[in-house]
Amino acid sequence: LKPTDKVDENTVYDPALDFFSDKFDPLKALNTPGLQPPVVAARTFDNLSLYESKQKSADSNGGKTKRQEKAKETEPAMPERRWLPHQLLVPGKKKKRKDVLTRMANITGPLKILNKCIEEKLLVKVWTRNASEVRGYCTGYVTAFDKHWNLALKE
């Protein structure tokens, strides 16, 4: 409250509760219910160490305002090199990356049979083995494969 503010009839001006007064008492202000700070949107901190670290970071920028910092950011730091036309990069053709699906469609050789199994939805039986024996088998419809004979089966 300031002395010039309008107050209720039963409210008395107390300089100990005036945030801008020399006689401001922070402990009394904290214990007074309903007292609003002068800046309602002021940022609150959990403890003093967070406040101090924020103040130190604000001091580290040399006391510059946000407007001064933005003006500094907009200024170019280094002059750019001006290239002559013959020094510019030569535009090249970008290679279209082949994914598994396009590779499966364009496959040749023995893997072409797997592509046929996908197109005709043939049921296949795949035996799994290690170096010396057959471990087992699975049956299903081939949905994808690659050049290393990795198969994705459905059902």
Region 129-140: mean pLDDT is: 93
Q: Helices (H), strands (E): how many in the chain?
A: 5, 3
- Domain assignment of residue 33, yes or no: yes
The verdict on pTM exceeding 0.95 is: no
Residue written as tokens 């309903």?
34
Q: Is the pLDDT of residue 3 over 60?
A: no
Across the chain, what does the average pLDDT equal? 83
For residue 144, the cross-strand partners are 152
Give residue 148's domain range.
Answer: 100-154
One domain, residues 107 and 148? yes
- Domain assignment of residue 79, yes or no: no
pLDDT bin (cut points 50, 70, 90) of residue 144 is very high
The last residue of one of the domains, among 55, 73, 91, is: 73
One domain, residues 66 and 112? no
Q: Report pLDDT for 13.
A: 84
Q: Report pLDDT for 63.
A: 56
Q: E strand or H helix at 124, and its extent? A: strand 123-129
Report in angstroms the alpha-carbon separations of 64 from 35, 51, 83, 138, 153: 32, 19, 36, 71, 64
Q: Report pLDDT for 96.
A: 84
Q: Report pLDDT for 67.
A: 66
Q: Report pLDDT for 82.
A: 83
CB 104 within 8 A of CB 144: yes
Q: Indicate the number of domains in the chain.
A: 2
One domain, residues 148 and 106? yes
Region 80-94: mean pLDDT is: 85
- Domain assignment of residue 6, yes or no: no
For residue 151, the cross-strand partners are 145
- Domain assignment of residue 44, yes or no: yes
- Domain assignment of residue 80, yes or no: no
Secondary structure letter of residue 33 according to DSSP: T
One domain, residues 67 and 109? no
The CA radius of gyration of the chain, in Å to the nearest whole number, is 38
The last residue of one of the domains, among 5, 38, 73, is: 73
One domain, residues 19 and 69? yes
- Domain assignment of residue 78, yes or no: no
Q: Is the pLDDT of residue 93 over 90?
A: no
Q: Is the pLDDT of residue 137 over 90?
A: yes
One domain, residues 66 and 27? yes
